[in-house]
Amino acid sequence: MNFNRIHHKRVLVTGGAGFIGSNLCYDLLENNNEVICLDNFSTGNINNILPLTGNKNFTLLVGDIRNLNDCHKAMQGIDIVLHQAALGSVPRSINDPVTTNEVNIGGFLNVLVAARDARVSRMVYAASSSTYGDSKELPKVEDIIGKPLSPYAVTKYVNELYAHVFRISYGMDIIGLRYFNVYGRKQSPDGAYAAVIPKFIRSLMAYESPLINGNGTNSRDFTYIDNVIQMNNLAATTANEEAKGQVFNTAVGERTDLNMMVELLRSNLSVFDPNIAAVEIAYGPERPGDIPHSLASIDKARNILGYCPSHNLQQGLQESVEWYWKSLRIFSNAK
């Protein structure tokens, strides 16, 4: 799909060994950029970027955004910052609000300060749909938010406030992207805080019942990784003055309930293994901090950035299942 891309720039990707960050690193290198990856590997995975370490245009810096000196070091000579480093997961933030705050707010502030001091031309940062909180408005429009429902949501809202303040105080060129339930290749299915789609794929492949929190009628605007890559490129390259200092929903503009999502997964996986069609679904209690429904308006991103999603849920899940089927089977056979 054709859209404006970052070309021939020196780009810092914080959290570059993570799911979204590593996908951005690959995309940037394919388009003739020099990439600096900053990661402390608390949630990032070296295997995500290992094939890139031999590329002369790729530099890995092991460091922590909670350390201002690490941020200053990473920011040297940088043209564009794509800030992805954060501690995600609503449940994680409820279990450990202090560390979530230190990384997502303290770390974000360090990145802002270092970008300001280095006179970086543009910074694009990962915001979150969790900012909409208890707002019942559907679809979610950028200017209407509610009260946060988790410590994680608080931290991502504070990021937007800090970005606004640095914009008006220092004239920084900053754009935020409110991600909606991103999924796709390289997203880990492991750990207590694994995202729902890779977690369910692994369960189904093992003939284990995926556990849906609630009755499965909660809905999400599931967003494939390629749509997120497009939005980062558009936000980093736009010449539209109206975009500067703004936040944009990064989504598809469609909502799917969890029951339908898992049926699509089961159907796609059954192409590879018909036995998966018989795996039953399990249901458990609702999770604290979860919102019942999420659906984004992408009109603002369309009108100002020229965004046009390349993948809907069906297309994204098909590509994701193909990637996981190959990757997880290779991993299982190697154990």
Is 78 part of a structural domain of the chain? Answer: yes
Is 102 among the domain residues? yes
- Residue 272: predicted pLDDT: 95
Looking at the predicted structure, is the pLDDT value of residue 52 above 90? yes
For the stretch 138-195, pLDDT in tens is 999 999 999 999 999 999 999 999 999 999 999 999 999 999 999 999 999 987 778 8
Q: What is the pLDDT of residue 287?
A: 80
Q: Model's pTM, two decimal places?
A: 0.94
**Mean pLDDT for the chain overall:** 94
Per-residue pLDDT at 334: 33
Domains: count for the chain? 1
Higher pLDDT, 195 or 317: 317
Let me know if residue 91 belongs to a domain: yes
List pLDDT tens digits, range 208-260. Answer: 999 999 999 999 999 999 999 999 999 999 999 999 999 999 999 999 999 99
Among candidate residues 315, 300, 139, the one with its CA nearest the CA of residue 227: 315
Confidence tier at 289 by pLDDT (50, 70, 90):
confident
Residue 195 lies in a domain: no
For residue 65, being part of any structural domain is answered with yes
What are the tens digits of pLDDT across the range 67-117? 999 999 999 999 999 999 999 888 899 999 999 999 999 999 999 999 999
Q: What is the mean pLDDT of residues 24-43?
A: 97
Q: Domain range holding 304?
A: 10-183+223-253+290-310
Q: Is residue 276, in this structure, part of any structural domain at all?
A: no
Overall average pLDDT of the 299-327 stretch: 96
Please give the single-letter amino acid code of residue 202. Answer: R
pLDDT category, 335, cuts 50, 70, 90? very low
pLDDT at 329: 67
Residue 330 has pLDDT above 60, yes or no: no
Q: Secondary structure of the chain in the HEC alphabet?
A: CCCCCCCCCEEEEECCCCHHHHHHHHHHHHCCCEEEEEECCCCCCHHHHHHHCCCCCEEEEECCCCCHHHHHHHCCCCCEEEECCCCCCHHHHHHCHHHHHHHHHHHHHHHHHHHHHCCCCEEEEEEEHHHHCCCCCCCECCCCCCCCCCHHHHHHHHHHHHHHHHHHHHCCCEEEEEECCEECCCCCCCCCCCCHHHHHHHHHHCCCCCEEECCCCCEECCEEHHHHHHHHHHHHHCCCHHHCCCEEEECCCCCEEHHHHHHHHHHHHHCCCHHHHHCCCEEECCCCCCCCECCECCHHHHHHHCCCCCCCHHHHHHHHHHHHHHHHHHHHHHC
Nearest to 231 by CA among 125, 307, 124, 126: 307
| 264 inside domain | no
- pLDDT of amino acid 36: 98
Catalytic residues: 152
CATH number at residue 26: 3.40.50.720
The reply to whether 190 falls in a domain is no
Query: Which pLDDT value is given to residue 200?
Result: 95
The pLDDT value given to residue 292: 84
So what's the pLDDT on residue 333?
A: 39
